[in-house]
Amino acid sequence: MKKLFLTVATAAMMFACTNNAGKNPFLTEWNTPEGVPPFEQIKAEHYLPAFEEGIKQQQAEIESIINNPEAPTFENTLEAMDKSGRLLSKVALVFFNITESDGSEELTKVQEVVLPLVSAHSDNIYMDARLFERVKAVYEGREAMNYTVEQTRLLEKVYNTFVRNGISLPEAEQARMREINAELSTLQQKFGNNLLAETNAFKLVLESEEDLAGLPEAVRTAAAEAAKAAGMEGKWVIGLQNPSRIPFLQYSERRDLREKVYKAYINRGNNGNENDNKELVLQIIKLRIEKANLLGFETSADFILDDTMAKKSEVVNSFLLDIFKAANEKAKVELADMQAIADREGNGVKVEAWDWDYYTEKVRQEKYAMSEDEIKPYFQMENVRAGMFALANRLYGLSFEKLDNMPLFNPEAECFRVTDRDGSLIGIFYTDYYPRASKRGGAWMTNFREQYINEEGEDVRPVVINIGNFTKPTATTPSLLTLDETETMFHEFGHGLHGLLAKANYVSVSGTNVSRDFVELPSQIMENWAFEPEVLAMYAKHYQTGELIPNEIIEKINASATFNQGFMTTELTAAAILDMNWHDLKSAEDITDPIAFEKEMMDKIGLIPEIAPRYRTTYFNHIWAGGYSAGYYSYLWAEVLDKDAYALFAEKGIFDQETAAKFRTLLEKGGTEDPMKLYRDFRGAEPNPEAMLIGRGLK
């Protein structure tokens, strides 16, 4: 997932200090290796003054553009706007990254003040009629100018941002738009804070051997360490973070406890307590509909999709329903396989949602004689990461050097210097892979600094971060990843490469600043290499013996590549459809119960009761707080591209240098060209729409 931090994308042209200026690290040049943030020097009290000064500085920069007596040109208007707000971007990228990955009550309080400031500042820029007149003059005269493709893309992006922010609205409606933007920024952040609190609040305490029945030793050890950390030494604790919850649901023989954990997970934000998200969801969707209406769109989806590859809601819904039908049918077959095993066991069990992972593991062992517990010893985190780095070297000539004594935002983070074939700097890459109470769930990529060409003509290289919530090391074993965690690590690394390889002049179109339904292509294509035999030979070694993963296990992994894809595709597509159902609403005034609305929508498409959407309404952080509203479909949309793109590598050779060079060019260009043109330039043709279904074993 490419993480968007509220208005930071638009506010990369935006924010900094007061009388503490001499002591505030944001207000000085960072004398650190490659200019990375001096995390150890940054305190919570530094952020607000830095935001205030950053806003002040950019306001002055924008006024200077407006008051320029020369006729508007690309250089004195668009380029000047792109260069403005460097301090604001500097503090915002650090702040919003830290609040997501290492938050605290103190930072939450800062957020409550900062978010309205950021929202108002963005509106002040994109609702300034004087500034728009200059942009509009350049835009309307573009046909007569010999702009580069990148300049044209930047011009169109900025012009459309003004239009989409309501520059043409009457004064009263602009005022209402400002109110909506401010309210949304606060509500969306509250949604995410509630979800983190709900996730951290649940602890299933196990007190006896009977409670541990079926759990592998590694799961027991991790649960014992979690209990010790919670002050319950001698017991075992299961939480809702993936590395704790998923293996418990896979292996626990205590069906009653599996049900308890499963229901706690799917009811996050739906418990009628101070962290309940139902009312927030209704407030958010009503405001989004009102905003869309003000801008002349009937629904929020119409407004959001107008700025994507898909363009129309009907296109997305048709795309999703076709996939859902195929996946749902396969899921029914998978359910029958599981029920057959349950029937043979003779315990009178009818497989329910909380049984799916448990019986899936039994079917996996029966069909492929393979269990995750057998495979994980070959997937030590450090080895998997080294394998990713080796793959990037084979494909793109990149080298990764571990840097010690670097500033770190958390002791669990690690830092790498990335260089090209000629030794030149590509960027700095941080990884932070383990769950903690201060970190949101999931996995994502962002930047501490984005790539651009500065005023002196120097190529400012990016500082990129990958965040995960993978299996933690224990006192007796290192971090041993599941196949899903390994695939996720490769996925986020793909986003990382997209950011690291950026080669643009302007920050607003650099790296991952691309349309939402294109941004997942670079990440998802990386997943295809993860379990190729030649790639496994680069990293999959037993953590104790150093033995390379045996061929028979590789064969099992690849033979089971489409195993359980009915379930996985169904839950993913159901979530994407749920997202569209919410954002296709013309009005939400008659909806009083978001959970009832969700059930109605899922019943309508025929989702079987044994499967819930991957994200239910009250914990769907992607769409309510993560920048993927009316955009969760993009994972599947981009998968059509990634499966089709990888087919070229499969045809030419998975390390083919000519093909890799062409894909590197696509990564380097970021948002500087039309995404479909970039894809056609790489592939030489339009994408095959069936590639994804074939790749998932659904066709």
In this predicted structure, the answer to whether residue 444 has a pLDDT above a threshold of 60 is yes
Query: For residue 6, what pLDDT is reported?
Result: 45
Query: For residue 20, what pLDDT is reported?
Result: 41
| Average pLDDT along the chain | 95
Residue among 386, 396, 433, 440 nearest 414 (CA):
433
Strand, coil or helix: what is 142?
helix
Q: Are the C-beta atoms of 470 and 481 separated by less than 8 Å?
A: yes
Query: For residue 5, what pLDDT is reported?
Result: 54
Distances (CA, A) of 334 to 263, 266, 563, 570, 576: 22, 21, 9, 12, 21
420: left (phi over 0), alpha (psi -120 to 50) or beta: beta
Structural domains of the chain ordered from first start:
6-126+128-164 (1.10.1370.40), 202-266 (no CATH), 313-354+563-695 (1.10.1370.10), 377-542 (1.10.1370.40)
Query: For residue 689, what pLDDT is reported?
Result: 86
Residues acting as catalytic residues: 492
List, in sequence order, every residue forming a beta bridge with 431; answer none if it has no partner: 414, 466
Q: Are the C-beta atoms of 203 and 178 separated by less than 8 Å?
A: no
Query: For residue 4, what pLDDT is reported?
Result: 62
CA–CA separation, 434 and 431 (whole Å): 10
CA–CA separation, 5 and 89 (whole Å): 12
* CA angle at 473 for the pair 471 and 474, rounded to the nearest 5°: 120
Strand order in the sheet with 399-402: 399-402, 414-419, 425-432, 463-467, 444-449
In this predicted structure, the answer to whether residue 561 has a pLDDT above a threshold of 50 is yes
Provide the pLDDT confidence category of residue 7 given band limits of 50, 70 and 90: very low
Residue among 126, 113, 125 nearest 182 (CA):
113
In this predicted structure, the answer to whether residue 418 has a pLDDT above a threshold of 90 is yes
Summarised one tens digit per residue, pLDDT across range 115-132 is 999 999 999 999 999 999
CA–CA separation, 168 and 294 (whole Å): 10
Summarised one tens digit per residue, pLDDT across range 46-103 is 999 999 999 999 999 999 999 999 999 999 999 999 999 999 999 999 999 999 999 9
CA–CA separation, 579 and 582 (whole Å): 5
3 state SS for 630-664:
CCCCHHHHHHHHHHHHHHHHHHHCCCCHHHHHHHH
DSSP state of 548: B
Q: Are the C-beta atoms of 528 and 646 separated by less than 8 Å?
A: yes
DSSP state of 517: T
Summarised one tens digit per residue, pLDDT across range 145-160 is 999 999 999 999 999 9
